[in-house]
Amino acid sequence: MANLKNRPLFSLSHAEPHRLTLTSAEGCRIEIFHLADDIVRVLVLPHGELRGPRTWSIAPGAEDAPLEGRERLDMSGFEPPPARVLEHEHEIVLETPMLRLTITLDGGFCAWDIRRDGHWRNVMNDRRTQAYNFGWWDARVYHYIERKPDEMYVGLGERAGTLDRAHQSYEMRNIDAMGYSARTTDPLYKHIPFYVTWQPHASTGFGLFYDTLADCRFDMGRELDNYHGHYRHFVAEHGDLDYYFIASPDTPLHAVRRFTWLTGRPAWMPKWGLGYSGSTMSYTDAPDAQARMGEFIARCREHDILCDSFHLSSGYTSIDGKRYVFNWNRDKFPDVDGFVAGYLREGVRLCPNIKPCLLQDHPLFDAVSEARLLIETAGGEPAWVQFWDEVGAYLDFTNPATIDWWKARVKDSLLRHGIAATWNDNNEFEIWSPDAIARGFGKPFPAREARVLQTQLMMRVSRDAQREHAPGARPFLVSRSGGVGMHRYVQTWSGDNYTSWETLRFNLKMGLGLAMSGVSNSGHDIGGFAGPAPGPELLARWVAFGIFLPRFSIHSWNDDGTVNEPWMYPETTGIIAGLIKLRYRLIPYLYELLWRSHRDYEPVLRPMFAEFPDDPRCLADGDDMMIGAALLAAPVVEPGRSAREVYLPKGARWASYWSGEVFEGGATVTLPAPHERPVMLIREGHVIALNIAEQHFAQPADERAFIALPCAGAGVAKGECVEDDGESEAWRHGAQGRWRVVIESDAQSLLIAIHRDEPIPHAQNDVRISVPASDTRRAVCATGELVAERIADGWRHLTLRMLP
Which of 466-471's residues contact partners 24+ apart within 8 Å by CB, and which partners? 466/410, 466/415, 466/420, 466/421, 466/422, 468/407, 468/411, 469/410, 469/411, 469/415, 469/416, 470/415, 470/420, 471/729
State if pTM tops 0.75. yes
Contact 526, 543 (CB under 8 A): yes
What domains are there in the chain, each with its CATH number? Answer: 10-262 (2.60.40.1760), 606-802 (2.60.40.1180)
CB 265 within 8 A of CB 309: no
Segment holding 598, helix H or strand E:
helix 570-600
Q: How far lies 355's CA from each of 190, 235, 372, 426, in Å?
A: 16, 30, 18, 6
Q: Which residues share a beta bridge with 483?
A: 191
- The torsion of the CA quartet 776, 777, 783, 785, rounded to 10 degrees, works out to 60
Instruction: Specify the pairing of strand 749-757 against strand 737-745.
Output: antiparallel
Pairing status of strand 476-479 against strand 190-191: unpaired
Note whether 194 and 150 are within 8 A (CB). Answer: no
Cα–Cα distance, 426 to 176 (Å, whole number): 7
179: left (phi over 0), alpha (psi -120 to 50) or beta: left
Q: What DSSP string runs through 462-480?
A: HHHHHHHH-TTB--EEEES
What's the rounded Cα separation, in Å, for the pair 26 and 720? 58
Axis crossing angle, helix 336-345 with helix 289-303, rounded to the nearest 10: 10
Tally of helices (H runs) and strands (E runs) in the chain: 11, 55
Q: For residues 505 and 637, what is the distance between their CA atoms, to the nearest angstrom?
A: 5
Cβ burial 96-125 (10 Å sphere, 16+ → b, else e): bebbbbbbbbebbbbbbbbbbeeeebebbb
Q: How far apart are CA 262 and CA 446, in angstroms?
A: 27
pLDDT of the residue at 2: 40
Nearest partner of 247 among 203, 204, 218, judged by Cα: 204
Q: What is the pLDDT of residue 263?
A: 98
pLDDT in tens, 625-673: 999 999 999 999 999 999 999 999 999 999 999 999 999 999 999 999 9
746 three-class SS:
coil
pLDDT score for 136: 87
Q: Are 691 and 588 in contact (CB under 8 A)?
A: yes
Name, in order, each residue with C-beta under 8 angstroms of 244's C-beta and a sequence gap of 6 or more. Answer: 35, 39, 40, 41, 42, 207, 208, 209, 211, 259, 262
DSSP 432: -
- For residues 546 and 285, the answer to whether their CB atoms sit within 8 Å is no
In single-letter form, the type of residue at position 319 comes to: I
Q: Alpha helix (H) ranges present in 382-500? A: 400-413, 451-469
Q: For residue 699, what is the DSSP state?
A: B
Task: Kindly report whether the peptide bond that precedes residue 187 is cis, defined as omega within 30 degrees of 0.
Answer: yes
Amino acid found at 278: G
The Cα 234–Cα 217 span in angstroms is 6
CA distance 704 to 585: 10
Question: Which pLDDT score is estimated for 6?
Answer: 66
DSSP letter at 635? -
Whole-angstrom Cα distance, residue 157 to residue 190?
7
Bridging pattern class, strands 491-493 and 522-523: parallel
Which among 486, 488, 449 has a CA at the least distance from the CA of 216?
Answer: 449
pLDDT, position 762: 85
pLDDT value at residue 5: 59
Name the 3-class secondary structure at 109.
Answer: strand
Residues 383 and 432: their CA atoms lie apart, in Å, by: 10
Res 804: pLDDT: 80
Cα gap 84→115, rounded to integer Å = 14
Residues of the chain where predicted confidence (pLDDT) is lower than 70: 1-6
Sign of CA pseudo-dihedral 573, 574, 578, 581: positive
Q: Taking a C-beta distance cutoff of 8 angstroms, is the pair 186, 171 a contact?
A: yes
The answer to whether residues 479 and 492 touch, using CB atoms and an 8 Å cutoff, is: yes
The C-alpha atoms of residue 273 and residue 309 are separated, in whole angstroms, by 8
CA distance 426 to 428: 6
What burial letters (b/e) apply to 4-28, b meaning 16+ CB within 10 Å?
eeebbbbeeeeeeebbbbbbbebeb
Count CB-CB contacts under 10 A for residue 395.
25
- pLDDT per residue as tens digits for the range 107-150: 999 999 999 999 999 999 999 999 999 988 999 999 999 999 99
Between strands 686-691 and 679-683, the pairing is: unpaired
Q: What are the backbone angles phi and psi of residue 424, rounded to the nearest 5°?
A: -85, 110
Strand, coil or helix: 35: strand
